[in-house]
Amino acid sequence: MMKMRGLRVANEMLATTRGPAGLGGVSNKPKLVRKTKIVATIGPATSSKENFKQLADTGVNVARLNMSHGDHDSHGAVVDLVKDYNEENNTGIALMLDTKGPEVRSGDLVEPLSLSPGEKFTFTITQKGLKSRKNTCTVNYDDFVNDVHVGDLLLVDGGMMSFEVLKISKKDVECKVVDGGVLKSRRHLNVRGKSASLPSITDKDWKDLEFGVRAGVDYYALSFVKDEHVVHELRAWLQEKKADIKILVKIESADSITNLDAILEAADGAMVARGDLGAELPVEEVPMLQQRIVQTCRRLGKPVIVATNMLESMIDYPTPTRAEVSDISIAVREGTDAVMLSGESAYGQFPYKSVQVMATVSETTEKALERTSGISRHGSYASDLITWI
């Protein structure tokens, strides 16, 4: 079977349906086929053959490999699942490898620390005397002390906890707890308004990208892209490998917004990664940034994915919040080409229902747009219809 690339839907954009039409009983009225694609992260809840088949049958267009978790063996097994499913069902579910990127994380703790607002806490880059120090945790990044400044706000896991920087020394960053909670091991750290001075592609990422070439993935989702140069670097590397893999840049840092136009010009498409984007920048700016990114991609004729927290509540509950439903609908109305599930499909309790909700909301919104303004969506007048994703 010839390899199928991209997010191609097996059916045509418009399919003809046969059914009752008055006395004749036959109707050639076109039926709208969902254009908004669904990206689903594959994890423990959906990585068996039976579970993946059920997920794929529900309406998934792209299988995401999250390289922040798992190893090449486990991801390779998912690649085989997708390829086998495509061959058996004559479908074109695509493979997207999402790099881990240069994440700054807290170190290991003997046990979780419960911290209250106003308490003092120290992040350190040294292990020396750590066991005897109260309210202290290491950071996995030696230049952390140079990247932060007094008055900066440090966010844990996108804002689940926050710390104000009070004092900086050669090895320590002394803070005051602003928003308390329970600090656990290896938590993701952001500095509000700043990006870490780390390379966008780490040593681990290069090994994962090499794996992607061998596995024959269709897309790279490149994390924490700061400027267009890293896109050019990766494209040159792909040319050397003679690999036809599209580069989707994840817009999720303060630097990526500063250099947005140049980054999108260089890339094949983009992902609005709202989690880290809303940590490095004020969360109230995320909706406007999402709209700007989607509109820019539409103008350039490049595909865009809206991701993060789209159906977060469905990790634990069988029905979405009404705000989540509106979130998906708004993304479709703005003109996104795809919406994405993360934990919902990777380890959630209701992965299939999550896909069903995403598909139903997308279809319903598209039908409403069809009735009111043809098939054009917000911003689509400025670019040709996108058919390769």
For the annotated catalytic residues, the residue numbers are: 64, 105, 250, 308
Q: Strands 269-273, 246-251: parallel, antiparallel or unpaired by DSSP?
A: parallel
β-bridge mates for residue 190, sequence order: 155
β-bridge mates for residue 173, sequence order: 123, 168
Rounded-to-integer distance, Cα 27 and Cα 16, Å: 8
Backbone angles phi, psi at 255, to 5 degrees: -65, -35
Rounded-to-integer distance, Cα 20 and Cα 232, Å: 55
The one-letter code for the residue type at 74 is S
Rounded-to-integer distance, Cα 273 and Cα 250, Å: 6
The CA dihedral of 84, 239, 60, 46, to the nearest 10 degrees, is 60
Rounded-to-integer distance, Cα 157 and Cα 269, Å: 26
SS3 of 300-363: the string is: HCCCEEEECCCCHHHHCCCCCCHHHHHHHHHHHHHCCCEEEECHHHHCCCCHHHHHHHHHHHHH
Q: DSSP secondary-structure letter at 141?
A: -
**Could you tell me how far CA 332 lies from the centroid of its own chain?**
16
Cβ burial of 203 (10 Å; 0-12, 13-18, 19+) is exposed
Rounded-to-integer distance, Cα 259 and Cα 365, Å: 32
Q: Output the CA torsion sign for 308, 311, 313, 317.
A: negative
Rounded-to-integer distance, Cα 110 and Cα 183, Å: 11
Rounded-to-integer distance, Cα 318 and Cα 82, Å: 26
